[in-house]
């Protein structure tokens, strides 16, 4: 499939007719070039890039999906929703959507090439609870890593909750790594706890997930830079669970990270 065909399937929420990775020639490198071409098509029609999503940073879910390393994709103004308290979000237009509780970073400036964890800490302005609605255009969520990359990194929608100034949460990179690693989340649907997770599952801590992502971004030919004002959602703390209209989901993080509630309509 061409990037134009990929975009048509995205717009129609239709399953792909074939698995791209069935061809041994379809490597991760080829998939990222298709993803960047798809990004260009979306920007050309008026969408604006607002940052990045990281996927498969949670090692505990690698055996579930058969993807054993992190991936990344683009977040757009059309897929990003920023709210306070309870947020309402339509699920129409998503293909086999699932929900993930995550920590989102807001960038203060572009990190230097080869940035250390302390450099990254300096580059971040805020953190927030987030829900990412991920999607797959392959039936039953059966894919390989190149398919997931070509499928926009499986990104569907991103809801960002109340922002917390980074320096009110931690004073340096080491403290940020430790506090987020030790933090927990309860994923609740319609008042019933579905799953529990911890920040240490995300490549040991979300800041370390961001560090890994930047190395991958700089190594990808033609990849855009991480810009001031961008958001980066760092990966799920639990498995991704299927969703449907009418449900109310809540991510209950340890204080002082606010809880985030989402009503699907």
pLDDT at 113: 87
Does the structure show a pLDDT above 90 at 133? Answer: yes
* Radius of gyration for the alpha carbons in the chain, expressed in angstroms and rounded: 17
Does the structure show a pLDDT above 80 at 16? Answer: yes
Does the structure show a pLDDT above 90 at 10? Answer: yes
Q: pLDDT tens digits, residue range 200-244?
A: 999 999 999 999 999 999 999 999 999 999 999 999 999 999 999
Q: What is the mean pLDDT of the chain?
A: 97
Q: Where are the domains of the chain?
A: 3-264
Q: Give φ, ψ of 49 to 5 degrees.
A: -75, 135
Does the structure show a pLDDT above 80 at 85? Answer: no
Q: Which CATH architecture has domain 3-264?
A: Alpha-Beta Complex (3.90)
For the entire predicted model, the pTM comes to 0.97
Q: pLDDT tens digits, residue range 139-165?
A: 999 999 999 999 999 999 999 999 999
Q: pLDDT tens digits, residue range 87-119?
A: 899 999 999 999 999 999 999 999 998 999 999
Does the structure show a pLDDT above 90 at 252? Answer: yes
pLDDT at 187: 98
DSSP state for residue 238 in the 8-state scheme: S
Cα three-residue angle 99-240-213, rounded to 5 degrees: 95
pLDDT at 120: 98
Nearest alpha-carbon partner for 117 in 198, 224, 204, 229: 204
Q: DSSP for 165-222?
A: EHHHH-SSHHHHHHHHHH-EEEEEETTEEEEEEEGGGBTTSHHHHHHHHHHHHHHSTT
């Amino acid at each position: 499939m061409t990037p134009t065909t990929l975009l048509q399937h995205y717009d129609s929420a239709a399953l792909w007719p074939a698995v791209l990775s069935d061809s041994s020639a379809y490597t991760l490198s080829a998939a990222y070039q298709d993803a960047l071409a798809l990004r260009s098509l979306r920007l050309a029609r008026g969408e604006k890039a607002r940052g990045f999503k990281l996927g498969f940073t949670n090692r505990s879910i690698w055996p579930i999906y058969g993807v054993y390393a992190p991936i990344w994709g683009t977040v757009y103004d059309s897929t990003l929703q920023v709210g306070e308290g309870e947020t309402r979000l339509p699920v129409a237009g998503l293909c086999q959507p699932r929900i993930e509780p995550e920590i989102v970073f807001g960038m203060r400036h572009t990190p230097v090439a080869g940035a250390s964890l302390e450099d990254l800490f300096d580059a971040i302005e805020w953190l927030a609870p987030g829900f990412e609605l991920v999607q797959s255009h392959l039936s039953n969520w059966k894919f390989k890593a190149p398919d997931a990359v070509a499928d926009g990194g499986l990104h569907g929608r991103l809801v960002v909750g109340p922002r917390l100034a980074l320096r009110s949460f931690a004073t340096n990179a080491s403290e940020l790594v430790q506090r987020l690693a030790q933090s927990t989340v309860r994923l609740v649907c319609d008042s019933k706890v579905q799953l529990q997770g911890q920040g240490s599952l995300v490549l040991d801590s979300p800041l370390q997930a961001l560090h890994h992502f930047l190395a991958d971004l700089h190594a990808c030919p033609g990849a855009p830079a991480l810009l001031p004002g961008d958001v980066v959602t760092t990966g799920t703390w639990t498995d991704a669970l299927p969703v449907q209209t009418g449900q109310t989901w809540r991510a209950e993080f340890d204080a002082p990270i606010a809880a985030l509630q989402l009503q699907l309509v």
